[in-house]
Amino acid sequence: MSKQINVALIGNPNTGKTSVFNALTGLNQKVGNYPGITVEKKEGICKLPRGVKAHIIDLPGTYSLNASSLDENVVIELLLNKNDKDFPDVAVVVSDVENLKRNLLLFTQIKDLEIPTLLVINMADRMKYKGISLDIDYLEEQLNTKIALISTRKKEGIEDLKQLITNYKD
């Protein structure tokens, strides 16, 4: 039997989680230029290298794991229930490149739950325009995580992300 892993896409509102979901699964869930587009859990499948199959879960945006809205409860309920059939083997935290610092609060909270975590920094296409540069090796070391710098808009970095998901235990 081929191996299947649960992957949850988690992040602040409007960082591009659903865009990543669509890129990974080939589905076409609604994307929009304001926060709160995704209101419930969506699921899809992504075929990864080495015959691994990923069950991808797109979630509503959340700023933290301190529940303050219904949408955030969906995320908290999933992450705090190890018996949930969708409980992630790996949490992919999606940040946008312009708000990285703010997004790291949620990243840290998920790491504290000791769920294997990857960090996606999306919207890399905005870096030049915004004059942002990042030292990914340094960030990986400081945050003790693997990072995929991607742009779903330019379709860049998606294969790297698939590779990181495949190797999430390394």
Ligand X SMILES: Nc1nc2c(ncn2[C@@H]2O[C@H](COP(=O)(O)OP(=O)(O)OP(=O)(O)O)[C@@H](O)[C@H]2O)c(=O)[nH]1
**Which parts of this chain interact with Mg ion (CB under 5 A)?**
17-18, 37-38
Partner from ligand X, Mg ion, none contacting 166, C-beta within 5 to 8 A by type: none
Q: How many CB atoms lie within 10 A of CB 134?
A: 14
CB of 63 to ligand X, least distance (A): 10
Partner from Mg ion, ligand X, none contacting 123, C-beta within 5 to 8 A by type: ligand X
Residue 34: CA count within 13 A, CB half-sphere: 0
Strand partners for 96: 122
Alpha-carbon span 40 to 20, nearest angstrom: 16
Partner from ligand X, Mg ion, none contacting 19, C-beta within 5 to 8 A by type: ligand X
CB of 153 to ligand X, least distance (A): 4
Cβ-based neighbours of 28, under 8 Å, separated by 6 or more: 22
Is residue 157 at the binding interface for ligand X, with CB under 6 A as the rule? no
Cβ-based neighbours of 68, under 8 Å, separated by 6 or more: none
Is residue 25 at the binding interface for ligand X, with CB under 6 A as the rule? no
Is residue 41 at the binding interface for ligand X, with CB under 6 A as the rule? no
Cβ-based neighbours of 62, under 8 Å, separated by 6 or more: 10, 11, 12, 13, 71, 72, 75, 76, 106
DSSP structure class, residue 54:
E
Options 16, 92, 95, 148; binder of ligand X; rule CB under 6 A: 16
State which residue, 31 or 105, has the beta carbon closest to ligand X: 31
Options 25, 95, 117, 152; binder of ligand X; rule CB under 6 A: 152
Options 89, 125, 127, 145; binder of ligand X; rule CB under 6 A: 125
Q: How far is CA 1 from the centre of its chain?
A: 27
Options 8, 10, 19, 165; binder of ligand X; rule CB under 6 A: 19
Note the residues at the interface with ligand X (CB under 6 A). Answer: 11, 13-19, 31-33, 35-38, 60-61, 122-123, 125-126, 151-153
